[in-house]
C-alpha cells in the first residue's frame, strides 16, 4: 500500500480523505477531488444512464463482462467478438451516445491540469457499474489513437481496491483503495501501466446503494 493511503477496510460512508497519493512518476490519486462537482455530476450521470442504459458486453473471447457499462461523449468504448474499439453510436440503439455532460468535462480538465497534464479535452467517457463480486482484470488502456493524453478516472459510491501494476502483465502489483470522490490520473511514462479492480465487497453507500460507479474519461481520437 502507498504511504499515506487509507486502509482498505474503510466503511463505504466514512468521511472523505484529502490529499494526493502518488502511484508513479506521472500517476496520482486525488483524494476527494470530485466531491465539489457531485451536485451537478450525479444528476447528469443519471440522464446519461436513462438515455443509454447499462449493459454487460462480451469480450473478444466470448466471456460476459462482470462490470456493466455505458458511454457518453462523441465516442464510446465497446467490446464484442470483433474486438475492443470506439464507436460514435450505441450498438444497442443505433443512436449517438449521449453528450458528455459539462460537469464531467470540467472535472476531467481540472484533474488533468492539477497533475501536470494541460489542455486535456476528453471526447470519450466510459461509465462502469460494479455490483458486489464484479471485478476488472489487469489490462492496459491502449485503444486510443494518441497515447500522449492521460486517463482521468472518477470513483463514486462503494470503495474499491485498484490493482496498479507495471508495463508488463507479470510485473509486481499494488492494491490502492479508491474511495467515493477520488480521482485517479495517469499518463506520460505511466500511461500504459497494467491496472484493474479487485472483486467488489458487499456494502452500502448512501448515494449509490450497493454499487460502485466509475467514470473514466479519455481522448480517444
Q: How many CB atoms lie within 10 A of CB 146?
A: 8
What DSSP element (H or E) covers 106?
A: helix 102-114
Give the domain range for residue 193: 20-218
Residues 190-214: tens digit of each pLDDT: 999 999 999 999 999 999 999 999 9
Note whether residue 47 is domain-resident: yes
What's the pLDDT at 7? 38
3 inside domain: no
> What's the predicted TM-score (pTM) here?
0.92
What integer pLDDT is reported at residue 136 of this predicted model?
Answer: 96
pLDDT value of position 26: 98
CATH of the domain at 109: 2.60.120.590
Question: Residue 122 class from Cβ within 10 Å (0-12 exposed, 13-18 middle, 19+ buried)?
Answer: buried
Residue 5 lies in a domain: no
Q: CA–CA separation, 34 vs 212, rounded Å? A: 14
Closest-CA residue to 195 (of 128, 122, 107): 128
Count of domains for the chain: 1
Q: Report pLDDT for 12.
A: 63
Asked whether residue 161 is domain-assigned, the answer is yes
What are the E-state strand segments in 134-182?
A: 136-139, 151-157, 160-164, 174-178
Cβ atoms 86, 76 nearer than 8 A: yes
- pLDDT tens column, 144-162: 999 999 999 999 999 999 9
pLDDT digits (tens, 9 = 90+) for 15-68: 667 799 999 999 999 999 999 999 999 999 999 999 999 999 999 999 999 999
The pLDDT score that the predictor gives to residue 15 is 60
Report helix, strand or coil for 107: helix
Q: What pLDDT, on the 0 to 100 scale, is given for residue 190? A: 98
In a domain, 120, yes or no: yes
Does pLDDT of 169 surpass 90? Answer: yes
How many other C-beta atoms lie within 10 A of the C-beta of residue 22?
13
- Which three cell numbers, joined as nine digits, stand for 91? 450498438
Instruction: With a cut of 90, say whether residue 13 has pLDDT above it.
Output: no
Average pLDDT over residues 119-126: 97
Q: What is the pLDDT of residues 75-109, one digit of tens each?
A: 999 999 999 999 999 999 999 999 999 999 999 99
Determine, yes or no, domain membership for 8.
no
pLDDT score recorded for residue 18: 76
| Angle separating helix axes 102-114 and 38-51, nearest 10 degrees | 130
Amino acid at each position: 500500500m502507498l504511504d499515506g493511503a487509507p486502509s482498505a477496510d474503510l466503511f463505504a460512508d466514512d468521511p472523505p480523505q484529502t490529499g494526493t497519493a502518488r502511484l508513479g512518476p506521472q500517476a496520482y490519486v486525488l483524494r476527494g477531488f470530485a466531491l465539489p462537482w457531485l451536485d451537478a455530476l450525479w444528476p447528469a450521470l443519471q440522464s446519461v444512464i436513462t438515455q443509454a442504459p447499462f449493459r454487460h458486453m462480451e469480450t473478444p473471447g466470448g466471456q460476459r463482462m462482470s462490470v456493466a457499462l455505458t458511454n457518453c461523449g462523441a465516442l464510446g468504448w465497446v467490446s464484442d467478438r470483433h474486438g475492443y474499439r470506439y464507436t460514435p453510436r450505441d450498438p444497442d440503439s443505433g443512436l449517438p451516445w449521449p453528450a458528455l455532460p459539462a460537469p464531467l468535462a470540467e472535472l476531467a480538465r481540472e484533474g488533468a491540469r492539477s497533475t501536470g497534464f494541460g489542455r486535456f479535452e476528453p471526447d470519450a467517457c466510459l461509465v462502469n457499474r460494479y455490483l458486489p463480486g464484479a471485478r476488472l482484470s489487469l489490462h492496459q488502456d491502449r485503444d486510443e489513437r494518441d497515447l500522449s493524453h492521460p486517463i482521468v478516472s472518477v470513483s463514486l459510491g462503494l470503495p474499491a481496491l485498484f490493482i496498479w501494476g507495471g508495463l508488463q502483465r507479470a510485473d509486481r502489483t499494488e492494491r490502492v483503495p479508491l474511495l467515493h470522490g477520488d480521482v485517479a490520473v495517469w499518463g506520460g511514462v505511466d500511461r500504459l501501466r497494467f491496472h484493474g479492480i479487485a472483486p467488489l465487497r458487499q456494502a452500502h453507500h448512501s448515494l449509490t446503494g450497493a454499487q460502485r460507479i466509475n467514470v473514466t474519461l479519455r481522448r480517444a481520437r
